[in-house]
Each structure stands twice: as structure tokens, then as C-alpha cells.
Chain A
């Protein structure tokens, strides 16, 4: 019984660099409780729980089983999904499929991470092939920096162009009470911050965060009754196309998986002119440079024109197509939650509940996920029930 589904409730923690007052299960519970409150629900209303994180950040095996006290999965169907950085978006896609299939009416989806509990780069390195990749790789920062280097080489984009993206997202974050880093920065400050891996500086990069996010998906027929404005799923697409870091063709820095996912998503949802038709994007953009490159890969502008799009203010709050009104990933990155926060944030935008970071009249919004071996997930949500 293929049917439509929508996000009807969202909740997230106030994200911080370290939450000593709560353990893992308790930080999960905080997001779940807020989500249920948002939807005026109790745990008894929930048919199934989907949870995810990246195991080696906290060193807990069978996290679904461990999480019960916090996630509310006691005597319920509970399942875990993990795909690295894309975990959160993978979860958002799973929540939709579980409802769309007819298996469940209401599904609670949870992404979380306590990145303070390990060395983020050390743990990320374990994701990669121990024989070919792991001896050299230096985590996400390395993988992203080489992408930026390649892009800069091909199109002449500069660190200053990238810094403009960091400035945008960090300004947006000041409007989001949940964001981890809430401090405006200047282009000069970004450029003067310590070099992590050329050409990427500290303020170009996402932080590591303790946080959790939860959303509830409901089936059509029910969703309309549960909240005044459900955020309807219009389409989903995933491309997890590489198994080794060295498979990536960095030529030009383009994110091939995003090009392919965007093509599929636009085809499925009938989007022909993304810049005009999409009202807001929450992009899993883990560093500033991606805010240049991936706008191109999403087809918002031509190759090499990302910097112009950003400098023209098109992607600022108040611009034609705001990107990351929440402050995005450079302001908050609790990795297993990050992709789901993108989905929750666009749901808030569609519901008109985004407070100071609200974009006016959001009809169609995109959430993306990034992670793994340069992988992409994309989800389209809309105000109206899809055809």
C-alpha cells in the first residue's frame, strides 16, 4: 500500500561541544521528549523506532538495543541504520519508507551523536579500508580539503569565496537557539583562523558536537489530523557510490554523487528550474567550500559560478534561495544527527515554525545528507501533499 507520508513533529537538543550532564541515552531522550511534545504525542502513539549514529564515535555496539531507555523502543519494533555522515538522512529516508510501505502508521526517527566521547578524526578514519585508505587518510577534513584544492585549481575559487559561506552560515546560526556555535565571524577572521589542511581553515570547518534530533513521520490520512501543516515527503534519492576513497574522481572537486542524486530527485519531483522552484535548502555542508561547489552540483548555477551565487547574496536569508537558515553544519555537527536535523529544519520551515530563522512562504524545501565515501542523500519536502 504505497502511500504518502509526512513529518508531523520534530525535536532537537540545544547542541553543545560537550554535554557532561547527560549520558548517551539521556541526550537521545531529550530530543525524543521534545519531539513528542511538539506533536502532542506520547510514546504509546509510536508504532516503531528508527535510530542511528556512527558506532565508533561512542564505541557502543548494537546501539538500537543499548538506546532503549532513551529512545522509547521498549516492546516496540526498533531498528538501527548507519551509513556514516549520511546516517541522519538515511534515517529520514527510512522513516518515510516504513510509513509509505504501510508497515507502520507513526514512526519515530532518531539521530544522535556524542562526538565529545572520542577523537572524531581518529574514529572517522576507522571507516576506511584498513589496507589502502586508513594508513594515510586523515578523516573528513582531509577528504574535504583535497576536494577544495581540486575545485580551486579548476575554477580559481579562493579561500575568501569559501569564507563568505562560513560567514553566512555562522550569521544564520545566531538566529537559531539550538545551534552549537552562535557567534558572527568576519571574512578576515575566517581567513586568519588556523590552517587545518590546505586550503581549509578552522572556521571553514564544522565543529564536533554533542546532540540529538528526532522526528515523527505519519501516514496520509493521519498526518493531516495530527498537525495543522505536515511536511510532506515529495521524493528521496541516495547515491552511495564509492567503496574506496581513491575511487573518487576529484577533477574539479564536483560531488558526483550529488549530481546523480539531484538528477534523480528532480526527475521524480518534476523540478525543472531548481533555483526558482526550491524555496529553502538545508544542506549537509560540512565545510564552507562545499557551499560553493555543491550549489553547482545541485544545479542551482553553472559549474564554476558557485562563488558568484554566494557573493550575490542569493543564498542568504532574505535572498532568492536561502541555504542553511539554521546555521547549517559549520555551526552544529553531531554527526549521526546532522542529516536528520536538515530534515527537521526544513519541516519547521514548511510548518512556519522556524522562528527568527524562518524563510517566508516555503512551499518546497530540500534537505541533503553527505558522508561515507563522498556519498549523498537528498530529500524533497513540500507544503502540499504530492500528486
Chain B
């Protein structure tokens, strides 16, 4: 519904005695989310060296990317840093075609976009990112992808523009 349609619909409802209370357009809740030491190290390596690092569980050997402090299944603290990637295998994917509100901006997020779960070589967890969908028929589970790094990196997962198919 366009804003005009919405407003006329609401005037109609007001006549029927039913109101809708809207949150203020600019209403937002600001947050300063701590990345934590492990995550900060990962972002730093991406930003400075275009490199992925993970952490290996001393008990089960699982490699977590991005790294974190505790292996959930083993409930132990992890310390061993491991360099992984940068290539990755597409574990699963979808193409998002429905519009929805991005909670960070309050605006609709542009669709469609390719949304993939990548297993970065050497890691045992999945890493989410975008992939291009100019030729959808090419996208298959199990194919190799690689990251496209941005020139200007700020220390965020968005330092990677997207993952693209490795042409063999």
C-alpha cells in the first residue's frame, strides 16, 4: 500500500471508530554491540590482510569461522588460531525475492538477491554472504566460490562485497 492509500484507509477506519497508533517515523533504538575479542580479531584480519581466521576446538577439532570463545558441544574455551579460505564451497542457498524491512535502516531491502551459506575451505561452520544472480542457472550446491574484497574496508562483514563463482 502506498502512504496515500494507507492514510485514506486509516481515515476510513477512524470513521468506523478504530485507530492505529504509529511509532514515530524516526523512532529507533541505538545499540553499541560489542563484537568480542575473537570476532574483533577476525574483522581486523579481514580489514587489514584480506584474510580469514578461525579457531580450532582443542577437544573435537572443529574449526569455527568466524571464531568465538567457546565450543558449544564441548563446552571448552578455544585458543588455537587457524587461517582458512579464502575459497569456499556453497553449502546451501536461496534467492530472496520478497521485500522486507531491514531493521537496521527501517527501509525495504532491495530484492532479489542471492543469499548463500559458504563453507570456507578449512572451516567446519558456515559463513553467510551474498552472491550474484545474473545467471541463476549456474548456482549449484557444492560449487566453489571466492570473496570479492572491497577497496575501502571498515572492519565489517561488508568488507566483502559478495562471493562469486570460481570459473574452473
Q: Which residue numbers of A lie inside 8 Å of B, CB to CB?
A: 20-21, 56, 59, 119-123, 125-126, 130-139, 141-142, 145-147, 149-150, 153, 194-200, 241-248, 250-251, 253
Contacts and interface: CB of A to CB of B under 8 A. Distances in A.
Given A125-B100, A246-B126, 4 more contacts: A122-B103, A123-B103, A138-B96, A198-B95
A250 B91 contact: yes
A197 B94 contact: yes
Nearest to B66: A132
A248 B126 contact: yes
B100 A122 contact: yes
Given A136-B129, A246-B128, A250-B117, A149 B33 contact: no
A246 B104 CA distance: 20
A196 B98 contact: yes
B31 to A, nearest CB: 7
B103 A131 contact: no
B117 A142 contact: no
Contacts of A146: 92-94, 115, 117
Contact of B157 (A120, A131, A198): A131
B97 A134 contact: no
A250 B92 contact: yes
Instruction: From A120, A138, A196, name the one whose CB has the most chain B CB atoms within 10 angstroms.
Output: A138
Nearest to A248: B126
Contact of A247 (B93, B101, B125, B158): B125
Contacts of A197: 94-98, 115
B1 interface: no
B60 interface: no
Interface string B1-42: 000000000000100001010010000000101010001000
Nearest to A127: B103
Contacts of B109: 138
B97 A59 contact: no
Contact of A21 (B18, B97, B104): B18
Given A131-B39, A132-B157, A246-B128, A121 B97 contact: no
B72 A243 contact: yes
Given A135-B158, A150-B141, A243-B72, A121 B101 contact: yes
* Secondary structure type dominating chain B contacts: mixed
A138 B95 CA distance: 10
A131 B115 contact: no
A138 B141 CA distance: 19
19 contacts: A20-B18, A20-B20, A122-B100, A125-B102, A130-B33, A135-B104, A136-B157, A137-B128, A145-B94, A149-B93, A150-B92, A153-B92, A194-B98, A197-B97, A198-B94, A241-B72, A246-B127, A250-B92, A253-B92
Contacts of B141: 149-150, 153
Contact of A126 (B18, B103, B126): B103
B157 A142 contact: no
Contacts of A135: 104, 156-158
Contacts of A56: 103
A138 B92 contact: no
B33 A121 contact: no
A20 B16 CA distance: 11
Given A132-B128, A250-B92, A141 B103 contact: no
B40 to A, nearest CB: 10
B145 interface: no
A156 B45 CA distance: 40
Contacts of A150: 91-92, 141
A145 B109 CA distance: 18
Contacts of A241: 72
Interface in B26-73: 31, 33, 35, 39, 66, 72
3 nearest interchain CB pairs? A122-B101, A121-B100, A145-B94
Contacts of B125: 244, 246-247
Contacts of A21: 18
Contacts of A139: 100
A359 B66 CA distance: 48
Given A20-B20, A248-B126, A130 B31 contact: yes
A304 B98 CA distance: 29
A122 B35 CA distance: 22
A195 B96 CA distance: 9
A303 to B, nearest CB: 17
Contacts of B92: 146-147, 149-150, 153, 250, 253
B94 A149 contact: yes
Contacts of A245: 126, 128
A196 B111 CA distance: 10
B97 A250 contact: no
Contacts of A20: 13, 18, 20
Contacts of A199: 94
A261 to B, nearest CB: 16
B68 to A, nearest CB: 8
B103 A134 contact: yes
Specify which of B35, B66, B100, B101 lies most central, judged by the most chain A CB atoms within 10 Å of its CB.
B100
